[in-house]
Amino acid sequence: MLERLASWVGGLINNAAIRFGPRLGAKPISFHDFGSGKPPWVQFEIENHGKTAAYELVVGGVCLIEPHTISGTLSFPEERIIKDPAIKLAAGSVVQVKVRKPHLPSEDEFHILKDGSWRLCAFVLLSYRDLFNTYWQKRACFEIQMDLANGKVGEGVFAATFAEVPLR
């Protein structure tokens, strides 16, 4: 009987956490410094659409060059994610973060991007706790779509669009 009550209370708390807790979204805003002599990076906006704060929010990410796959899906590179210090994100709040490529693109990487056999992707990981101290994670990947034949490379904002890529 006590086990059933504990299970029921646990389910009630989980349901409340989902319904009333933080709901975080990651949206890529702009792509910077491609071909500038610096590692390129994507500006992301992280927004809490929920009704309560996200506690101990750690935003992590990395830009990587990945192959096109038959299924279109990619594996999430957990071990390569670069994480920012933890913050609290209040309900309705927005924070902007940079997700970087760990190093400059090599000449080979420029060529495989230009011929279209590989793609540049920005991976984002959001880890946080809700009001009930439940731990949550959200993973996302966005392909950075750009015209390398006609685009101007260099420092600053690079013309690009973003398409969400399914993860396996």
What's the angle, vertex CA 161, arms to CA 54 and CA 66, rounded to 5?
80
Q: Which domain holds residue 30?
A: 22-164
Is 119 inside any structural domain? yes
Is 94 inside any structural domain? yes
pLDDT tens-digit series, residues 46-65: 999 999 999 999 999 999 99
Is 127 inside any structural domain? yes
Which pair of structure tokens corresponds to residue 91?
């309900």
Task: Find the mean pLDDT for residues 81-100.
Answer: 97
Beta bridge partners of 59: 126
Is 4 inside any structural domain? no
Alpha carbon distance, N-terminus to C-terminus of the chain: 39
Looking at the structure of the chain, the number of domains it has is: 1
pTM attached to this predicted model: 0.85
Q: Which of 26, 16, 48 is nearest to 133 (CA)?
A: 16
Which pair of structure tokens corresponds to residue 54?
């996200």
Is 15 inside any structural domain? no
Which pair of structure tokens corresponds to residue 56?
């101990």
Is 79 inside any structural domain? yes
Q: Which of 1, 120, 22 is nearest to 67 (CA)?
A: 120
85 backbone dihedrals φ, ψ, rounded to 5°: -60, 155
Is 133 inside any structural domain? yes
pLDDT tens-digit series, residues 94-149: 999 999 999 998 889 988 988 888 999 999 999 999 999 999 999 999 999 988 76
Is 6 inside any structural domain? no
The domain that contains 150 carries what CATH number? 2.60.40.10
pLDDT band at 37 (very low <50, low <70, confident <90, very high): confident
pLDDT band at 36 (very low <50, low <70, confident <90, very high): confident
Cα torsion at 16, 54, 165, 161 (round to 10°)? 130
Residue 121, helix vs strand vs coil: strand
